[in-house]
Chains A and B, each alone.
Chain A
Amino acid sequence: MLTVTSLNKTFRTPAGDVAAVSDVSFSTKPGEMIAIVGASGSGKSTLLSLLGLLETPDKGSIKVDDVELAGLDAKGRTAYRARKVGFVFQQFNLIPNLSALENVMLPLEFARWSVSDREIRAREVLNTVGLGDDKVLRRPARLSGGEQQRVAIARALVTDPELILADEPTGNLDRKTGERIIALLREAAGQEKRTVVVVTHDEKIAKAADRRLEIEDGVLREIA
Chain B
Amino acid sequence: MGSIKRGVRNTFRNTIRTVAVVTILAVAIALSISMLIARGAVSAKIASVRDSTGTTITVSPKGFFGFQGGGSPLSASTVTSLLSLPHVAALQETLNQELSSANTSLIAATPTGQLGQQFGGGAFTRPIRVVGTNSPGTALVGGAFGGGTEKIVTGTSFSSTSDADVAILGTNLASANQLVVGSTFTAWSTNVTVIGIYSAGSTFADNNVVMPLTTVQRLSNQAGEITGATVTVDTLSHVAATTTLISQKLGSAADVTSTAQATQSSLAPLDSVQTISTYTLVGAVVGAGIILLLSMLMIVRERRREIGVLKAIGASTGSIIRQFIAESTTFTVLGSVVGVGVGVLLSSPIASALVSASGGSSPGGGFVRRGGGFPGGFAGGGNGFTPPGGVPTGPFRFGGFGRTLTQLHTSVGWGTLSAAFAIAILVAVVGASVAVASVVRVRPAEVLRSE
A93-B309 in contact (CB<8A): yes
Determine the distance from Cα of A107 to Cα of B451 in the docked complex, in whole angstroms: 22
Q: Does A218 have its Cβ within 8 Å of any Cβ on chain B? A: no
Q: Per-position contact with B for A43-82: 1 when CB-CB < 8 Å, else 0? A: 0011001001011000000000000000000110011011
B306-A95 in contact (CB<8A): yes
Q: Does B9 have its Cβ within 8 Å of any Cβ on chain A? A: yes
**B residues near A110, Cβ cutoff 8 Å:** 313-316, 319
Select which of A75, A78, A95 is within 8 A of B309 by beta carbon: A95
Q: Does A186 have its Cβ within 8 Å of any Cβ on chain B? A: no
Determine the distance from Cα of A111 to Cα of B313 in the docked complex, in whole angstroms: 9
Q: Per-position contact with A for B94-123: 1 when CB-CB < 8 Å, else 0? A: 000000000000000000000000000000
B316-A54 in contact (CB<8A): no
Q: Does B317 have its Cβ within 8 Å of any Cβ on chain A? A: yes
A81-B311 in contact (CB<8A): yes
Q: Per-position contact with A for B212-246: 1 when CB-CB < 8 Å, else 0? A: 00000000000000000000000000000000000
A97-B13 in contact (CB<8A): yes
**Given A49-B445, A55-B445, A74-B317, A109 and B2 contact (CB-CB distance below 8 Å):** yes
A107-B443 in contact (CB<8A): no
Determine the distance from Cα of A81 to Cα of B10 in the docked complex, in whole angstroms: 24
B314-A107 in contact (CB<8A): yes
A78-B314 in contact (CB<8A): yes
Q: Does B345 have its Cβ within 8 Å of any Cβ on chain A? A: no
B9-A54 in contact (CB<8A): no
Determine the distance from Cα of A105 to Cα of B315 in the docked complex, in whole angstroms: 12
**A residues near B312, Cβ cutoff 8 Å:** 52, 54, 81, 87
Q: Does B1 have its Cβ within 8 Å of any Cβ on chain A? A: yes
Select which of B1, B13, B445 is within 8 A of A54 by beta carbon: B445
A54-B444 in contact (CB<8A): yes
Determine the distance from Cα of A82 to Cα of B451 in the docked complex, in whole angstroms: 22
A81-B445 in contact (CB<8A): no
Closest to A45 in B: B449
Q: Name the residue in B1, B9, B309, B310 with the highest tally of chain A Cβ atoms < 10 Å from its Cβ.
A: B309
**A residues near B6, Cβ cutoff 8 Å:** 98
Closest to A156 in B: B313
**A residues near B2, Cβ cutoff 8 Å:** 109
**A residues near B443, Cβ cutoff 8 Å:** 54-55
Q: Does A220 have its Cβ within 8 Å of any Cβ on chain B? A: no
Select which of B9, B305, B316, B449 is within 8 A of A93 by beta carbon: B305
Name B's interface SS: helix
Determine the distance from Cα of A109 to Cα of B320 in the docked complex, in whole angstroms: 12
Determine the distance from Cα of A86 to Cα of B316 in the docked complex, in whole angstroms: 15
Determine the distance from Cα of A52 to Cα of B445 in the docked complex, in whole angstroms: 9
Chain A interface size, as a band, is 20 to 34
Determine the distance from Cα of A89 to Cα of B310 in the docked complex, in whole angstroms: 12
**B residues near A106, Cβ cutoff 8 Å:** 1, 310, 313, 315
**Given A91-B451, A97-B10, A78 and B311 contact (CB-CB distance below 8 Å):** yes
Determine the distance from Cα of A93 to Cα of B303 in the docked complex, in whole angstroms: 11
Q: Does B448 have its Cβ within 8 Å of any Cβ on chain A? A: yes
**A residues near B1, Cβ cutoff 8 Å:** 98, 102, 105-106, 109
**A residues near B314, Cβ cutoff 8 Å:** 78-79, 81-83, 107, 110-111, 159
**B residues near A97, Cβ cutoff 8 Å:** 9-10, 13
B311-A89 in contact (CB<8A): no
Query: Closest Cβ of chain A: how far from B285's Cβ, in Å?
Result: 31
**B residues near A86, Cβ cutoff 8 Å:** 313
**A residues near B309, Cβ cutoff 8 Å:** 89, 93, 95
B448-A89 in contact (CB<8A): yes
**A residues near B306, Cβ cutoff 8 Å:** 95
Query: Closest Cβ of chain A: how far from B433's Cβ, in Å?
Result: 18
Closest to B6 in A: A98
Closest to A111 in B: B314
Closest to B447 in A: A54
Q: Does A212 have its Cβ within 8 Å of any Cβ on chain B? A: no
Q: Does A155 have its Cβ within 8 Å of any Cβ on chain B? A: yes
Query: Within B1-28, which residues are at the interface with A (CB < 8 Å)?
Result: 1-3, 6, 9-10, 13
Query: Closest Cβ of chain B: how far from A158's Cβ, in Å?
Result: 10
Query: Within B122-178, which residues are at the interface with A (CB < 8 Å)?
Result: none
Determine the distance from Cα of A10 to Cα of B305 in the docked complex, in whole angstroms: 23
Query: Closest Cβ of chain A: how far from B450's Cβ, in Å?
Result: 11
Query: Within A83-120, which residues are at the interface with B (CB < 8 Å)?
Result: 83, 86-87, 89, 91, 93, 95-98, 102, 105-107, 109-111
**A residues near B3, Cβ cutoff 8 Å:** 109
Q: Per-position contact with A for B277-306: 1 when CB-CB < 8 Å, else 0? A: 000000000000000000000000000011
A54-B313 in contact (CB<8A): no
Determine the distance from Cα of A54 to Cα of B307 in the docked complex, in whole angstroms: 13
**A residues near B449, Cβ cutoff 8 Å:** 45, 49
**Given A55-B443, A110-B316, A93 and B13 contact (CB-CB distance below 8 Å):** no
Q: Name the residue in A49, A82, A91, A155 with the highest tally of chain B Cβ atoms < 10 Å from its Cβ.
A: A49
A contacts, CB < 8 Å to B: 45-46, 49, 52, 54-55, 74-75, 78-79, 81-83, 86-87, 89, 91, 93, 95-98, 102, 105-107, 109-111, 155, 159, 167
Contacts A49-B445, A82-B315, A106-B310 known; list 12 others, CB within 8 Å: A54-B311, A55-B443, A81-B312, A87-B312, A89-B448, A97-B13, A106-B1, A106-B313, A106-B315, A109-B2, A109-B3, A155-B313
**When A and B form their complex, which 7 residue pairs have the shortest distance between CB atoms, in order from nearest?**
A82-B314, A110-B314, A54-B445, A49-B445, A93-B309, A81-B314, A55-B445
Question: What are 14 A-to-B residue pairs whose CB atoms are below 8 Å?
Answer: A46-B445, A49-B448, A52-B312, A55-B443, A78-B316, A78-B317, A81-B311, A97-B9, A105-B1, A106-B315, A107-B313, A110-B315, A110-B319, A111-B314
